């Protein structure tokens, strides 16, 4: 291809990514977004203006060398592109699929000021998938340091921290409470958005290349305490996330048919309930489903509900998102909202439940809701929803899924004296280094921030790994 000038580049429109048709995909758990083929990826890469001071990189929590990887890609040097990517990000096939790019790299892209930003996320995914298929770039580890680090939790934060430390030559052991590593990537995000094959291959490859030891079925706080770990390891990183689901404090929350999004998604993703009875774990889905909340987890739960209705042969099913603010404030990734709308999810904005109603057998039959209006901005900067008096109405339902966020699981804190926590239950840690108030213990990801994104957890895992490394090689004393 001849070298284009800036003007030519500006003329190229952003390339759509092929997706599975909305009508068909509602009935299966196969991946929705199919990824760019190589020619589309290279053409999209041509759009990048190679800014001298790239704003996109500033928007990336792990600082991926975006212009450089895109340049190598459009020159057809995919292997270099992968190497550049892996300097900062070991899991591009995952990040390309789940990052909220519109608020990070793509949100900062110069092209986005007047038109559409470069599809950085889709290019990242292309690079990640290419590497997954061809394995051109083995992960190398430095000479053994002789130092041992325990990483608790194998989600995005723990995994990133473990991989970075192992690359630097430290001996790393991961402790995971569930039977399969990956954390939210495994139990939370559905197959159709992030295939489990991608997650397991990425994890197994990194673990295999680096000789990381993984103990599943180990619940820190119960199987082993933090104190135990500190006596066997030079440093401990806590990346146990925010797994404890929150329920609304309204009547009827314990009725049959009301569940947390975590329960629903765990049944569906981790336990494969959509394949029941081939898989043992069942899941119930009703004809009329309401998901409360509008984050990524809510979108995932709603879209899983719709698929289960089709798979289980429930006709004329309805799935709605009930959200107390308006469309503008939706916290979910934009692509997920678009996909949910295409698939036929109903959105009830400015609506909040006040009571869940059940029958005499203890099962959900409906929900009393109230309409809201938006007032002045609150501490989050978003306009605060205020109930409209006298606007109550009843919604007929048989399934209610609560997707209202999560807080850190308290189990990890048993016998962890000295670990300071906030009143929200999160761990107090230095945002730049991940150091907690407990000697030789670092923390990062949702356990520190509360429920956030995969990539911000990875960013925290990276920062902590670099600080742990510094601590270990300098033989620092914890002050």
Closest contact distance (angstroms) between CB of 176 and another protein is: 10
Cα 437 to Cα 231, 329, 440, 441, 442, distances in angstroms: 17, 35, 9, 8, 9
Closest contact distance (angstroms) between CB of 418 and another protein is: 20
Compute the distance between CA of residue 297 and CA of residue 453 in angstroms, rounded to an integer: 11
Q: Where are the alpha helices (DSSP H) in 244-318?
A: 261-265, 296-311
Closest contact distance (angstroms) between CB of 13 and another protein is: 43
Q: Which is nearer to another protein, 108 or 266 (CB)?
A: 266
Q: Which is nearer to another protein, 45 or 184 (CB)?
A: 184
Integer-rounded Cα radius of gyration of the chain: 23
Closest contact distance (angstroms) between CB of 154 and another protein is: 13
SS3 assignment, position 163: helix
Q: Which is nearer to another protein, 270 or 428 (CB)?
A: 270
Name which of 413, 407, 408, 409 is nearest 221 in CA terms.
413
| Structure tokens given for 94 | 């995952």
| Structure tokens given for 409 | 């699981």
Q: CB count, 10 Å around CB of 443?
A: 29
Closest contact distance (angstroms) between CB of 372 and another protein is: 24
Q: Which is nearer to another protein, 100 or 183 (CB)?
A: 183
Closest contact distance (angstroms) between CB of 320 and another protein is: 21
Q: In sequence order, what DSSP letters do the residues of 22-42 get, joined into one string?
A: HHHHTT--S-SB----HHHHH
Q: Which is nearer to another protein, 354 or 411 (CB)?
A: 411
Angle of CA points 148, 158, 261, to nearest 5°: 150
Closest contact distance (angstroms) between CB of 384 and another protein is: 26
Question: How far is C-alpha 58 from the chain's CA centre?
Answer: 20
Q: Which is nearer to another protein, 288 or 435 (CB)?
A: 288
Closest contact distance (angstroms) between CB of 227 and another protein is: 12
Q: Which is nearer to another protein, 266 or 426 (CB)?
A: 266
Sort 95 into a burial class: Cβ within 10 Å, 0-12 / 13-18 / 19+.
Answer: buried
Task: Enumerate the β-bridge partners of residue 368.
Answer: 355, 394
Q: Which is nearer to another protein, 144 or 179 (CB)?
A: 179
Q: Which is nearer to another protein, 344 or 450 (CB)?
A: 450
Task: Enumerate the β-bridge partners of residue 267.
Answer: none
* Binding positions for another protein, rule: CB under 8 A: 177-179, 187, 215-219, 222-224, 243-245, 247, 253-254, 256-257, 259-260, 262-263, 266-267, 270-272, 276-282, 284, 361-363, 409-411
Closest contact distance (angstroms) between CB of 345 and another protein is: 23
Structural contact between residues 444 and 157, judged by C-beta atoms closer than 8 angstroms: yes
Task: Tell me what percent of the chain is helix, strand and coil, each rounded to the nearest 5.
Answer: 40, 20, 45
């Amino acid at each position: 291809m001849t070298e284009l000038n800036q003007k030519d580049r500006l003329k190229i429109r952003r390339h759509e990514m092929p997706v599975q048709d909305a009508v068909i995909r509602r009935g299966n758990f196969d991946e929705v977004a199919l990824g760019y083929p190589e020619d589309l990826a290279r053409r999209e890469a041509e759009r990048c203006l190679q800014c001298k001071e790239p704003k996109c990189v500033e928007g990336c929590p792990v600082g991926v060398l975006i212009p450089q990887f895109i340049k190598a890609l459009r020159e057809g040097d995919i292997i270099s592109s992968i190497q550049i990517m892996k300097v900062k990000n070991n899991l591009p096939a995952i990040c390309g699929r789940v990052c909220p790019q519109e608020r990070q790299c793509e949100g900062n892209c110069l092209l986005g000021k007047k038109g559409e930003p470069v599809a950085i996320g889709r290019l990242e995914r292309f690079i990640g998938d290419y590497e997954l298929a061809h394995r051109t770039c083995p992960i190398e580890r430095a000479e053994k340091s002789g130092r041992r680090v325990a990483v608790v939790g194998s989600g995005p934060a723990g995994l990133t921290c473990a991989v970075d430390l192992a690359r630097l030559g430290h001996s790393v052991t991961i402790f995971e409470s569930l039977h399969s590593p990956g954390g939210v990537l495994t139990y939370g995000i559905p197959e159709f958005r992030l295939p489990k094959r991608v997650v397991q291959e990425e994890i197994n490859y990194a673990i295999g290349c680096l000789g990381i030891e993984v103990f599943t079925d180990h619940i820190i706080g119960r199987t082993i305490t933090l104190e135990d770990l500190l006596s066997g390891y030079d440093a401990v990183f806590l990346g146990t996330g925010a797994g404890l689901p929150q329920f609304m404090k309204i009547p009827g929350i314990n009725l049959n048919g009301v569940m947390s999004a975590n329960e629903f998604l765990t049944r569906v993703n981790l336990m494969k309930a959509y394949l029941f009875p081939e898989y043992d774990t069942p899941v119930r889905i009703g004809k009329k489903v309401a998901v409360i909340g509008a984050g990524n987890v809510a979108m995932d739960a709603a879209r899983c509900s719709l698929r289960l209705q089709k798979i289980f042969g429930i006709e004329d099913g309805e799935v709605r998102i009930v959200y107390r603010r308006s469309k503008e404030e939706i916290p979910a990734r934009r692509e997920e909202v678009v996909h949910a709308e295409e698939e036929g999810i109903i959105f009830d904005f400015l609506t909040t439940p006040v009571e869940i109603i059940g029958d005499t057998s203890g099962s959900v039959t409906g929900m009393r809701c109230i309409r809201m209006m938006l007032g002045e901005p609150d501490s989050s900067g978003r306009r605060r929803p205020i109930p409209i008096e006298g606007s109550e109405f009843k919604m007929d339902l048989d399934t209610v899924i609560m997707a209202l966020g999560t807080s850190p699981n308290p189990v990890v804190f048993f016998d962890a004296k000295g670990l300071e926590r906030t009143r929200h239950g999160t761990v107090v840690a230095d945002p730049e280094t991940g150091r907690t108030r407990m000697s030789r213990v670092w923390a990062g990801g949702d356990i520190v921030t509360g429920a956030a994104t995969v990539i911000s957890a990875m960013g925290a895992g990276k920062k902590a790994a670099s600080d742990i490394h510094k601590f270990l090689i300098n033989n620092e004393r914890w002050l």
